Structure 1
Amino acid sequence: MIKNSINPVKERNGKACLKIRWVAIIFLNAALTLPALAHDVTVNLTGKVTNATCTVSSDSIYKPVLLGYIPLKTFYQYPMSSAPVEFKINLENCGAVSRGVQVTFSGTPDDNVPDYFKLSNDGSDDSASGIAVEIMDDARKIIPVDGKSKSYLITSGATTKSLVFYAKMVTNGDALKTGNVNSNATFVTAYP
């Protein structure tokens, strides 16, 4: 007579331990053979087909604008400003842009006049005070900090476009002090 070839663990009740072991093996095998749980997943894909846009010309990626050397007496009262200085942002590789291009200038707004750009304070004593910088479109209408310009139309078939803007120094109501005038603005183009 052949005895059971499975040797139960020697415990107080060997048969009970053997039954528990078999039940555990059956459940483990069942768990391994069950299909993985599936979930319904919805992927929402969106996009927009547009006309070809322009790229910023390499000469306009970093655009220094010299506002000039203005005597302090020019700003004898508030509000006063220097003469506007023209600068251009050049675009190239333009496609058929239906309405044109708009430009948003971002930067730090002046504390007193938030539509104007604050001077960059580099911590040195040679920085001017009482002055902010104003940016305008080609019609000399102010473009406030983080505000969009008018739409500059791009002629059908044109592959390049020069966007004309103006910048000038303006008093902001603080005490005037001579020194360097430095301000930074970052521009982004959009095609409405």
Structure 2
Amino acid sequence: MKTPAPLALVLPWLLLPGTGVQATEYRQMDRTGSYIHFTSRQMGVPVDGEFRSFDASLAFNPEAPAQARGQLRIALSSIDTGLREANEEAVGAQWFDVKRHPEARFELRQIQPLGTGRFQVSGVMSIKGSSQPMAFGTLLKASGRQAVMEGSFVLKRLDFKVGEGLWGDVGVVANEVTVQFHLVLSP
């Protein structure tokens, strides 16, 4: 099984208010430099995995971070737990139900500065027909040619009806899933 990359954020440039940088739309994602990893627990044992197919965009002005908008779309069928059987189970009706809900989506609604390149990101996560508001800390650095957003958050899978039926027992599969992301974006 894969071990997720460290949660620490290493970014190329830090933009602070007053640097004179204009609003930039980051619409292209560097797929080789970006990742989405997750860690869950099954019967107390960590299970690591990743999603191999996803896309992101970000409209961000360091002078007005509260007006930032963005979107992350994840092809749920691209799950890779390191085990073929687990991947096949995860795309089925009791888990992601990819035939009816092929994609997870995070709609960024606001970025609030916390200082020293740290931001509070707020938005709405939608998985399997359920949507939940989410807020989490991240580090964001940008230049005119590149932006990197990295962080982690804990998602409660049962809030999205992921792992129904026998899989709803949190003694077997924990409700909390830690998601780590590193997104490299360019205009």
Structure 1 length as normaliser, TM-score?
0.29
Q: Which of 1 and 2 has greater Rg?
A: 1
Structure 2 length as normaliser, TM-score?
0.30
Hey, which of these two has a bigger chunk of strand by percent?
Answer: 2
